A and B are shown apart, each in its own frame.
Chain A
Amino acid sequence: MQRCDYLLSQLDVLEAESVHIIREVAAEFERPVLLFSGGKDSIVMLHLARKAFAPAPIPFPVMHVDTGHNFPEVIEFRDGTVARMGVRLVVASVQESIDRGRVVEETGRRASRNRLQTTTLLDAIEEHRFDAAFGGARRDEEKARAKERVVSFRDEFGQWDPKNQRPELWNLYNTRIRQGEHVRVFPLSNWTELDIWDYIRREGLELPPIYFAHTRLVFERDGMLLDAETTFANRGDDEPAFEATVRYRTVGDASCTGAVKSNAATLEQVIEEIAATRVTERGQTRADDRSSEAAMEDRKKEGYF
C-alpha cells in the first residue's frame, strides 16, 4: 500500500465493500444465514464474514443446500471448514424434499437435481425463518446476474422480479421487508472470477482438492466433461468413460457441473490459466445455463440462488 496517497489495492477495496455489506445485513436483519456450498466463492464469503466480526464469532449460521449429488471431496471440505470456524451448519436436503413429496425427481439421462434445489432452499428459509440469505453470486458470472442488486428483495413466494427492483445508491441498502419476505444478499457482487482467485492466493485460503488438476474418470456429453466416478450424471452405455487430467472451475451439483482439461495443479498455475481463458466459467462448466438464453433469469425469478 502506498501510504502517502492513501491508496488501496482493488482487493482491499472489494474486501472493504463486502465487509460493509455483511455487517449491514447482520445489523439490520433478525435471522441471516450464509449459503455455503464448499465452492470457492462461498469460501471467500465465509472468510470475509469472519473478518467482519473478528474477534467475535460469526453471528449467523451457514446453510448448505445438499442435492445429495455431491463430490465427496467437497462434503469433506465443508465439514472440516465448518468445524474449524466454529459456525453452525444447517443442511437443507433435496433428498428430504423428494421424500416428503415437495418435489418430483426429474427423469431421463439429463435429470438433475439442480432446479429442485430452489424448493428445498425456499422451504428451509421458511422453516428456519431466515430473513436474509447471503449468496456468493457475482455479477460477472452471467447476464441476468449483472442486473442483480446487492441486497435483493424476494417476495413471500421467494420470487425475484427483475423489472421491479429497488434502486440501490451509494452504500445505502434498503433492508426493510415484511413478515414472510426475505432478501438475498450478494457481498461478492463486484468481484470477478480473477479477483476471487487473487484473493484466495493473497489470503492463503484452502480449497477443496477438485479445483486443482487431478486424474478423474469422466465422460463427454454436450461438449462437457462430466464425472463418471459417481453415478449422478446417469452415464449411458453409449457414453464411454475415460481417464483425463482435469480440474473443476466451479463446484456445483455433480450431475451437471463439468470439469475442464487442465494440468494446473497449483494455485499459481490455476490463476495463470484463468487469466488466459477465453470462456466464462458458467459457459464452460454449467449444463444448466446452456438450456436457453434466459435460463438463469428464469431460475432466479423462481427463487434460485
Chain B
Amino acid sequence: MPAQETAQTAGPATGHQMDILRFATAGSVDDGKSTLIGRLLFDSKSIFEDQLESVERTSVDRGEEYTNLALLTDGLRAEREQGITIDVAYRYFATPRRKFIIADTPGHIQYTRNMVTGASTADLAIVLVDARKGILEQSRRHAFLTTLLKVPHLVVAVNKMDLVGYDRGTFERIVDEFTAFATKLEVADLTFIPISALHGDNVVDRSPNMPWYKGTSLLHHLEHVHIASDRNLIDVRFPVQYVIRPHASTDPELHDYRGYAGQVAGGVLKPGDEVVHLPSGLTTTITHIDGPNGPVEEAFPPMSVTLRLADDIDISRGDMIARPNNRPEVAQDLDAMVCWMTPDRQLTPRMKVVIKHTTRTARAMVKELNYRLDVNTLHRDENAPALGLNEIGRISLRVTQPLFVDDYARNRMTGGFILIDESTNNTVAAGMIVGAR
C-alpha cells in the first residue's frame, strides 16, 4: 500500500516534460462538482485573484452566503442567471507532474449530449456520488455514458463524507453496490475514493479523518494514473488529411516532394515499413516521416506527421494507410450506437444524413433503428420508432462510399463518427461503431 504520499501542488512547473490527462466530470451543483473543481483549481493555484474577486463580488451581489465556486465554471450569462451548467466548459490546471484538461459537463439528463461530448476525448471520468444518497439513477447514467464512450479510467468519488461522519460502512456499501452495477458495463479501470470536496478530505492530500481508507488522494490518482497504454499502438491507422506538394518550388529537392499529412490514429509507423493504401489496396514503403521539426524515426498517436512513400500512388484526403496484414474493415454498412444531439428533428429509419468519419465525409442513410436504450435502466426498447434529443440507440447505416473503420472499442479514432444534417448543417449525432460489413 502506498506510504503517506502528498500530491504535488506547488503550482505549475515550466520547462520540463509533462504529459496531459484529459478528464471529464459530470454532475450538478448539488453533487458538489463545482466545489470539487474549485478545490482542484484552487489547491493547484490555478484560480487567479481577479477570477476569485469577480466570483466573490457576484456572490455578494446575489446575496449568497458563501462564495459560489460554480460561478467560476459557469461562463455564460444564461448559466449564471439560471444557476445551472448548460454547456461543456474546459478548464486547465497543472501540477509539476501533469497538465490537466477538465471537460466540465452538466449532469442532468437533458444535457446527455454535453456529457457525451466531454467524454469523447477523456482519458478518465469522475462520477460524483453523494455519500448520503448513495447510487442514484444519475450516477448509473453517468457511469454508463463513460463506458459507452470507452473512457479508459473511471473514478467514483464518494463525496460529502463529512456529512456521514466519515463512516467507513457507508463508503463500503456504495462501493459494493456500484461494483455490482459495474459488472453489467465494461469498465476497464474502476477506482473509488471517499472525499469531502468542501473540506478537502482526500482531494489533494490523504485525509486524517478517514484512516481506514488505504488508497491515494484524488489528485494523486489523477497525477499517476497510467494512460500511455490506453492508445492503440498495435493497429497502424493513418487517415490521410492533406496532400503536401510544394508545387512551383525552385528548389530541385522539393520539386518532387509529395507528402501525405495526417494525425496517426493507431499503431507505430517507421521509415522502411511496408504499408497498404486504401481503397486501392496497393502496397508501398514509407521512405520518410516528417514530424513538426523535421524527419522522425517513428510516429504514433496522437502525432501529426507527413509520410513520404516509395511509389507514386494516387492518394488523396479521406484515404487510409494501414499495414498489409492488419487492415481496417472497408465497409459501407455500419452498426453503431448513436447519441442523438439535436432538438430540431428526430432520428428515424430511412433518414438521410452526412457522415464524417476520420477525414472522410460521405452521405449515408439510416437503414434501421434496432433499439432505443433507456440510459437509466439500460432497458432496450426494440419498438421505438425514433430517437429524440439526448436519446441513445443502436442503428444500422448504409454509407454511399466505403469507410475504413474499426470497432470503437478497439480504436476511438477510427471507430467514432459524427452525423450532420444536410438541411441545417448541424451536428446531429455522435456514433460509435460496433460492427461493420
Contact = CB atoms under 8 A, between A and B. Distances in A.
B11 interface: yes
Interface in B414-434: 416-418, 420, 425-427, 430
A20 B113 contact: no
A162 B79 CA distance: 11
A167 B113 contact: yes
A209 interface: no
A188 to B, nearest CB: 12
Most buried by A among B75, B249, B430: B75
A174 B420 contact: yes
B355 to A, nearest CB: 10
A12 to B, nearest CB: 8
Contact of A56 (B86, B247, B293, B412): B247
Interface string B237-260: 000011011110100001001000
A275 B76 contact: no
A190 B18 contact: no
A6 B51 CA distance: 37
Interface stretch (B89-97, B126-134, B199-207): B89-97
A213 B229 CA distance: 44
B413 interface: yes
Interface stretch (B278-286, B299-307, B321-329): B299-307
B412 A170 contact: yes
Contacts of A72: none
Interface in B172-231: 228-229, 231
B213 to A, nearest CB: 30
Interface stretch (A23-31, A35-43, A63-71, A77-85): A23-31
A280 B113 CA distance: 31
B263 interface: yes
Interface residues of A, number: 70
A10 B18 contact: yes
Contacts of B54: 283, 293
A176 B420 contact: yes
B418 A16 contact: no
B92 to A, nearest CB: 5
Contacts of A168: 117, 427
B257 A55 contact: yes
Given A6-B228, A174-B418, A166 B76 contact: no
A201 B115 CA distance: 36
Nearest to B428: A167
A139 B303 CA distance: 22
Contact of A192 (B92, B246, B317, B341): B92
B77 interface: yes
B304 A16 contact: yes
B277 to A, nearest CB: 18
Contact of A27 (B241, B263, B354, B417): B241
Contacts of B354: 176
Q: Interface size class for chain B?
A: 35 or more
Contact of A169 (B13, B15, B117): B117
Nearest to B52: A278
B14 A198 contact: yes
B116 interface: yes
Interface string A48-75: 0001111111000000000000000000
A294 B81 CA distance: 11
A148 to B, nearest CB: 9
A13 B20 contact: yes
B66 interface: no
A165 B341 CA distance: 11
Interface in B87-141: 87-92, 94, 98-99, 101, 113-114, 116-117, 120-121
B292 A293 contact: no
B101 A194 contact: no
Nearest to A18: B304
A172 B416 contact: yes
Given A14-B20, A195-B99, 12 more contacts: A15-B304, A23-B241, A53-B244, A139-B92, A143-B75, A146-B91, A147-B76, A147-B88, A169-B120, A192-B92, A275-B12, A275-B13
20 contacts: A3-B298, A6-B268, A9-B17, A10-B17, A17-B304, A19-B304, A24-B241, A55-B257, A146-B91, A163-B76, A167-B114, A170-B412, A172-B417, A190-B92, A195-B99, A271-B14, A276-B11, A279-B50, A280-B50, A297-B76
Sort A-B residue pairs by CB-CB distance and give the 4 closest, nearest first: A283-B50, A143-B75, A19-B304, A56-B246
